[in-house]
């Protein structure tokens, strides 16, 4: 599920140095928080799209 290296790390502009466990923990927590923000954003967007689709179905254009 997670993309290491060029994936999320490249998007966030972070360098993953496995020799420093503290920095990798910080990296993982930042990846998690970013993933949660992205996920909640998509959930909100899908929710608003569903509302728009329902209103279109309820009131079809004449």
Reported pTM: 0.31
Q: What is the pLDDT of residue 28?
A: 80
In SS3 terms, the chain reads as CCCCCCCHHHHHCCCCCCCCHHHHHHHHHHHHHHHHHHHHHHHHHHHHHHHHHHHHHHCCCC
Q: pLDDT for 15-58, tens place per residue?
A: 555 555 566 778 788 888 888 787 777 777 766 666 666 665 66
Q: What is the pLDDT of residue 31?
A: 81
Block residue for tokens 């992205």 = 38
């Amino acid at each position: 599920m997670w993309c290491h290296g060029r994936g999320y790390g490249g998007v966030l502009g972070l360098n993953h140095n496995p020799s420093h466990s503290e920095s990798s923990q910080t990296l993982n927590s930042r990846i998690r928080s970013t993933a949660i923000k992205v996920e909640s954003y998509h959930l909100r967007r899908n929710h608003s799209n569903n509302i728009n689709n329902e209103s279109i179905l309820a009131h079809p254009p004449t």
